[in-house]
Each structure stands twice: as structure tokens, then as C-alpha cells.
Amino acid sequence: MEILSGWTNRRNLGGFLSVIGQFSPEVEAFFRQMKNVQGWKDTSVAFFDDHFYFFLISVLLYPPVIYGLYIWMKDRKPYDLRTELIWWNWFMAAFSFIGTYYLIPILPIGISEAGWWGSVCTRWCFSYNAGSVVGFIFDCSKVLEFVDTLFLVLRKRELIFLHYYHHVVTMLFCWFCNQTCQEFGCHGYYFATMNYLVHFIMYSYFALVAMRIRLPAFCSTFITTIQILQMVFGVAVVVTHYSCDNYDPTTFYLGSLLYLSFFCLFVHFFYNKYFSSSSNRTKSD
């Protein structure tokens, strides 16, 4: 793809990786290897293989640690942590913006070159070094996002099933896709791109709310709406993957289960928060 090659030459991580190389040549070399399918196998896949027990223990400890903290906080006053929460949300918003910056603009080019079906079913995205790097970091970041739940529990905010189910299942699915998607196509690229975009908007909103900046009432509705749309788009990508000549049945079944369950849970949350509560207020009036 000549258009793709020209564009990626203009938006790359060369300068950033050179700075990293001043501190750790090994890390720079690791990231620079991510320039094709084999490079992804030698770096990202190998990294998750080498750190298998870290990721496994992280996801296994998450539920009992969160539940234990929840019980421990029952008879204690909530921690304020407002300053820490502001910094955390802005950090995650900036992190998500960088991922969005490097991933989203390349999609129209990939689609124009190969069409929607080809952009999902072929492995064109693995030739884009910057996209592979931020995609790898995206997969790793799903463990980092467990910190969201710590803030909820320590500040004694409501902890709903959707929250911790979403974190556990997303982390496991990203781990699975990291190890398999290079064999089948660029569906994982789409999953990461739309999640980066939604998280950039979501964490920015959370940061502003934590700063006690008054925002229009529709903003919270908009956040939940784009989360629901993300699930609809995810189903579309999974269904497209199923139609590929070379597709992975496990990805199809797991992806369908994940996105359909998220869709149902977010719609249920949306209804309870914005419609059911409005109906109850109307009746009380």
C-alpha cells in the first residue's frame, strides 16, 4: 500500500523511540521490531508468554482484592483522594489520546486501500510500527485500568457488576487477541482504536467532574451512549471477522459473547440511570 507507507512515514514514533533509546536501547530495539507480523510474534506475543504468570495472577487477584477492600471499607470513612483521582484521569485521558492519535487516522486509508472487509480480514496493520507499539501498550494497559476500581472502593462509591465484569473480561479478551490476531487479520486493531477513542472522551469527562467543573447534563448521557455504540461497532467487527476466508472461531465466539454482554449491560445501565429515574421523578411529582 503506497498511500499507507507514505502516511506512516509522516506519523511515526521514530523520535520518541530514539529518546527511549538514550535510557534503554533494549526497549527501543523491542519496539522497533514491531514492523511486521513476525516482529509482532517476536515481541508482543513473546512478552505476554514470558510474563504469563504476572497477567494471570493480576486477573485472579483482582476480584478477591477488590471484595476484600470493599468489606474492609464498610465501617470506615471514605478516603477523599480527589487530587489523586484528577491526576489519574488526566493521565489516562492523555494516554488514550496518544493511542487515538496514532490509530484512528490510519483506518480510512486502510479501508480505502482494501475495503471494509479487507481492512478487517488482512494483516496490513502490522506493517505500521507506531500502530503496533500503541496496540501492544493498549493490551498491557488493561491491567493498569484495575486502578479505576480501587478509587471507587476506597472512596466508597457504588460498585456495580458492570464495572468489575467489564474490567476482567476486557483484560482477558485483549490478552487472547494479543496472542492470536496476527494470524488472522486486523480485527484487534479496530478493537483497540475504538476503545482508545471512547476512553479519551470518558477519562477527560471524569477528570473534569473530579475537578468539580459544571458540565451540561447531556455529557453523562453522551458518555454512556458512545460506550453502547462501541459495543455495536465491536459486534460489526466480530461478524465481519467471521466472514473472512481465514477466521478464528474462538475469536468470533468470545468476541460475540463479550460485546453482546457489554451491550446488554450498558443498555440496562443507561435505562436505569436516565429513563427509570426520570420516570420515578415524574410519578413523585
**Per-residue pLDDT of the chain in tens (285 residues, 90 and over written 9):** 444 555 455 556 666 677 777 788 888 889 889 989 999 999 999 999 999 999 999 999 999 999 999 999 999 999 999 999 999 999 999 999 999 999 988 888 888 888 999 999 999 989 888 889 999 999 999 999 999 999 999 999 999 999 999 999 999 999 999 999 999 999 999 999 999 999 999 999 999 999 999 999 889 999 999 999 999 999 999 999 999 999 999 999 999 999 999 999 999 999 998 887 554 544 444
Return the pLDDT at 277: 53
User: Which residue is catalytic, options 166, 167, 199, 241?
Assistant: 166
DSSP 27-48: HHHHHHT-SSHHHHIIIIIHHH
Return the pLDDT at 140: 97
Return the pLDDT at 11: 59
The whole-angstrom separation of Cα 6 and Cα 115 is 19
- Answer whether residue 173 is part of any domain: yes
Its domain, for residue 209, covers 2-8+35-284
Strands (E), the chain: none
- Answer whether residue 16 is part of any domain: no
> Would you call 268 a catalytic residue per the annotation?
no
- Answer whether residue 22 is part of any domain: no
Look up the pTM and report it.
Answer: 0.90
- Answer whether residue 23 is part of any domain: no
- Answer whether residue 19 is part of any domain: no
Return the pLDDT at 283: 42
Residue 243, classified by CB atoms within 10 Å of its CB into exposed (0-12), middle (13-18) or buried (19+), is exposed
> All 3 cell numbers of residue 64?
478477591
- Answer whether residue 28 is part of any domain: no
Return the pLDDT at 76: 93
- Answer whether residue 25 is part of any domain: no
- Name the domain count of the chain: 1
Q: At what angle do helices 161-180 and 129-144 cross, to 10 degrees?
A: 140
Return the pLDDT at 4: 52
- Answer whether residue 222 is part of any domain: yes
Contact 89, 199 (CB under 8 A): no
DSSP 104-152: TTHHHHHHHHHHHHHHHHS-GGGG-HHHHHHHHHHHHHHHHTTHHHHHH
